[in-house]
Chain A
Amino acid sequence: MEENYAIEMKGITKRFGQVVANDGISLAIKRGEILALLGENGSGKTTLMNMLSGIYQPDEGEIYEDGKPVYIRSPREAFSYGIGMIHQHYKLIEVFNATQNIVLGLDDGRLDLAAAAKKVKEICSRYGFEIDLSRKVYEMSVSQKQTIEIVKILYRGADILILDEPTAVLTPQETQKLFTVLRNMKKDGKAIIIITHKLNEVMEVSDRVAVLRKGKYIGAVNTSETNPQMLTEMMVGHSVSLNIDRPVYPSPQRKLVVEGLTCVDEEGITKLDSVSFTANTGEILGVAGISGSGQRELLEAIAGLYPVKSGSIRFVGDDGAEKELVGLTPKKIREAGVGMAFVPEDRLGMGLVGSMGMTGNMMLRSWKNGRGALVRRKEPENLAKNIMEELDVVTPGIDYPVRRLSGGNVQKVLVGREIAGEPAVLMTAYAVRGLDINTSYTIYNLLTEQKMKGVAVIYIGEDLDVLLELADKILVLCGGRVSGIVDARTVTKEEVGLMMTEYRPEEGRL
């Protein structure tokens, strides 16, 4: 039997201190198969895969490759067994071009770049990668960087590929391209394990689904014999409703007026080009667009973190008085009494302090409070406890470094803190990226709750289905320009998709 499996893991247990990340897990994958690994945040998916790729070693249990027991002590050894993993964070050298990065770190005698480049090209054409190999990494989009990582692993001869949430950073189009490549690799007899939280992707690309829950193996099912509802129940352990409520707020008012906002980056490239819109209280304004269309710059400019070349951003107070925000630092904005909350895309790099616990991170919003030179710890501590309880943050304690928490819990800490400030404007960038279904719906509900409290919510999202269900209005960005603002209740996914790729100013505006 065993000979059938490319990889078989038996009774794998892995502990981190008191945390049992994996508890006697057995998992197997055949060649020519795409296995989706599913589970809530913190259920141990990444940990399990890290043991295949040599980053961790199991405390208990065995791993077999083609029926033979193997012991994988390092990523290098994993490669010698033909196992390669694409992590969520790419480790590429920015100033090198694609080929150099792919070939880098291989010590097979002399480095023959020309021959290597030829081999790389061959891999690309074989599996259908579209990439300019002479481009430097710092000029590349996330999706292109990911492509390089995959090619790099194939170049090293991997025939068992593990992808940890590869689609989290991709647009729907890019995801489709990735899936085409994956199918080609499957046809080529490679074994592929993909971790994703998006059930429609699981249904679309995988042959089999294995589910983990709280570190335990729940079971595996053939994709053709299951559906999202059933998978969710396997993951969560009870039934959940996958519907988003969209109540109507009775009296929306203007809260944030953006007019002709233009931003230029350090290299002089225009990132935002005369963007104008109004965000109202009691409304979720969804922002759609291909990644890198200016979403990040838009939110950062509003938050006072990105230089504005021209235009105006005005905050409308409850009394109707307008306050100009352009030119103000985040500190000044706060001092001006503008309640603005911001959940940035880069959670640990911008929104949180990874080395501190929840308490220390709560202080990020309140550390200035109170007179005197000393920080007040009591309130942030209580806030941390509240958020931990209300949002079910899984952490050994409120002083446990948030960097060590699983992705979903990190996001809960960040969103929890931002909402706790009772903002008037709440901006979120990719708020559910990397979050499991259950947590995602928790976040959607939280946002809707905020909206019904009269908060003006700006939600940058990548999942169009969710945008259409959650938002009241959708602003579509295309290359830094607004290609339309549409009513989310009436527009179709296709219409939005079209506006994302083509700038057509004559399209209807609200």
Chain B
Amino acid sequence: MSAETRTPLIRLVKRTEMAKGKVFGIRVASIVIALILGCIPMLLTGTDPISAYGVIIQGSLSRPIYIKQTVKIAIPLLGCALAIAPCFKMRFWNIGAEGQITMGAVAATYFALFWAESVPHVVLLAIMFITAAAAGGLWALIPAFFKARWNTNETLFTLMMNYIAIGIVAWLQGGPWEGRKGSQLIPMFQDSARLPTVLGVHCGWIIVLALVFIMYIYMNRTKQGYEIAVIGDSVNTARYAGMNVGWIIMRTMFISGAISGIVGFMIVSGANFTLYSGVADGVGFTSITVAWLSQLNSFAMIAVSMILAVIEKGANTLQTRLSVPASIADIITGILLFCMLSSEFFINYSLVFRRREKKEAEA
């Protein structure tokens, strides 16, 4: 009958609530599916996916030294995701974390280069930490100020600020801070400007874990976190409630930039021990993925940043061992992003199959 032909085999139904456990199950399943889909590009490059995944896990987690390297990759990702989460919550699309990291690194490097002789170790690190935060924060404040004052487009503005920051470093590299003439390199930091290691990894991991707690409390329990959530929902409601929207945007961006700046400090002082124009290395962008996949939840960001770090570190090993291009990591990350975002779809909608009994009754 026409009703039968009209009834689709599968249809979508919007759901309202779902048990927490089930939501978690769907998220895990989406990761598994992503890993399965990730086999396709491997097969295309003529690699056995099972051994490839084996190598990825081995290369990133099998030995303490590998784990340390993986954690080292995860630290800036996690830190930066924590930084941009408040902005995104506020619907202020800050894609300038890259530049904010860079400016933080510049400030830290200045003191590492010129104050290392005259200031004791711990004090020097403290100065680098604070000035990096201030520099990142001020850098982020510029687009926020223009947004608050003249309602400029923050997406474009923050993006352009990245290139200015990178340009500044390139100039420093070849000019005032150049080490050996003509080398285009800034000298390596002295030991006193390097972050100490704890359990084999620079102590940045302690800083970011502390930040996870702090940002969780900040976003969920504080007045400022509440203001951010209200603005993200409706600017008019925020004004109605007596919030000074422009000021809150600037304050939040400053905090966000400051955390990015701290990430910059950790990168130069804990990992690279020098500054070059690629210091942020895409962390400011990858961390958007981390923040989004974690749905802006601080604790989820730990897991997501670790997963992305495992893939990236493992893919490097993959390249050396099986000569698979390391860019496979980007492909798998892309597939992961796709699958996790589509899992949101299944959390919000359910598939209903055409009822069997109806057909049987017809027959």
Contact residues of A with B, CB < 8 Å?
Answer: 16-19, 56-57, 59, 62, 68-71, 73, 303, 305, 329-331, 333-334, 342, 344, 346, 348-356, 360, 363-365, 367-368, 373-375, 404
Contacts and interface: CB of A to CB of B under 8 A. Distances in A.
Nearest to A344: B240
A363 B240 contact: no
A71 B234 contact: no
A71 B6 contact: yes
A364 B237 contact: yes
Contact of A351 (B7, B225, B240): B240
Given A330-B239, A330-B241, A70 B222 contact: no
Contacts of A303: 240
Contacts of A349: 234, 236-237
Interface in B192-229: 221-227, 229
A44 to B, nearest CB: 14
Contact of B2 (A69, A331, A348, A356): A69
A375 B223 contact: yes
Contacts of B8: 71, 73
A203 B222 CA distance: 52
Between B222, B225, B242, the greatest number of chain A beta carbons within 10 A of the residue's beta carbon is seen for: B242
A367 B2 contact: no
Contacts of A356: 229, 233
Contacts of A305: 239-240
Interface of B: 1-3, 6-8, 11, 13-17, 221-227, 229-230, 233-234, 236-237, 239-244
Contacts of B7: 71
B233 A355 contact: yes
Nearest to A364: B241
Contacts of A346: 236
Nearest to A352: B237
Given A334-B242, A355-B229, A367-B241, 17 more contacts: A16-B16, A57-B11, A57-B13, A71-B6, A330-B241, A342-B240, A346-B236, A352-B237, A353-B229, A353-B230, A354-B233, A365-B241, A367-B223, A367-B227, A373-B224, A374-B221, A404-B16
A68 B2 contact: yes
B237 to A, nearest CB: 6
Contacts of A57: 11, 13
Contacts of B240: 303, 305, 330, 342, 344, 350-351, 364
Contacts of B244: 329, 331
A75 to B, nearest CB: 14
Contacts of B225: 375
A356 B231 CA distance: 12
Given A363-B226, A375-B223, A351 B16 contact: no
A353 B233 contact: yes
5 contacts: A17-B16, A57-B13, A70-B6, A330-B239, A352-B237
A388 to B, nearest CB: 19
Between B13, B225, B226, the greatest number of chain A beta carbons within 10 A of the residue's beta carbon is seen for: B226
A71 B354 CA distance: 12
Given A330-B239, A375-B226, A354 B234 contact: yes
A350 B237 contact: yes
Contacts of A352: 237
A242 B15 CA distance: 39
A19 B14 CA distance: 13
A344 B234 CA distance: 14
The 5 closest A-B pairs by CB, nearest first: A69-B3, A331-B242, A17-B16, A330-B242, A17-B17
Given A68-B2, A305-B240, A367 B226 contact: yes
Contacts of A69: 1-3, 6
A421 to B, nearest CB: 12
A196 B337 CA distance: 45
A19 B241 contact: no
A331 B230 CA distance: 15
B20 to A, nearest CB: 13
A330 B238 CA distance: 10
A75 B355 CA distance: 23
Nearest to B232: A355
A367 B243 CA distance: 10
A364 B241 CA distance: 6
Nearest to A304: B242
Given A303-B240, A305-B240, A404-B16, A373 B223 contact: yes
Given A303-B240, A351-B237, A373 B3 contact: no
Given A69-B1, A71-B6, A71-B7, A364 B230 contact: yes
A376 to B, nearest CB: 9
A68 B236 CA distance: 48
Between A331, A351, A353, the greatest number of chain B beta carbons within 10 A of the residue's beta carbon is seen for: A353
A271 B242 CA distance: 23
A73 B10 CA distance: 11
Contacts of B222: 373-375
Nearest to B241: A364
Contacts of A18: 17
A303 B239 CA distance: 10
Contacts of B2: 68-69
A300 to B, nearest CB: 9
A44 B15 CA distance: 17
A348 B234 CA distance: 8
Contacts of B226: 360, 363, 367, 375
Contact of B234 (A56, A350, A367, A368): A350
Contacts of B223: 367-368, 373-375
A405 to B, nearest CB: 12
Nearest to A367: B226
A352 B234 CA distance: 8
Contacts of A19: 16
B152 to A, nearest CB: 18
A353 B227 contact: no
A463 to B, nearest CB: 25
Nearest to A403: B233
B217 to A, nearest CB: 8
Given A334-B242, A356-B229, A367-B227, A375 B221 contact: yes
A374 B218 CA distance: 8
A330 to B, nearest CB: 4
A404 B14 CA distance: 13
Contacts of B11: 57, 73
Contacts of B234: 348-350, 353-354
Contacts of A17: 15-17
Nearest to A303: B240
B270 to A, nearest CB: 29
Nearest to A56: B14
A345 B242 CA distance: 17
Contacts of A330: 239-242
A73 B221 CA distance: 42
Nearest to B6: A71
Contacts of A334: 242
A13 to B, nearest CB: 13
A56 B229 CA distance: 30
B101 to A, nearest CB: 26
A12 to B, nearest CB: 14
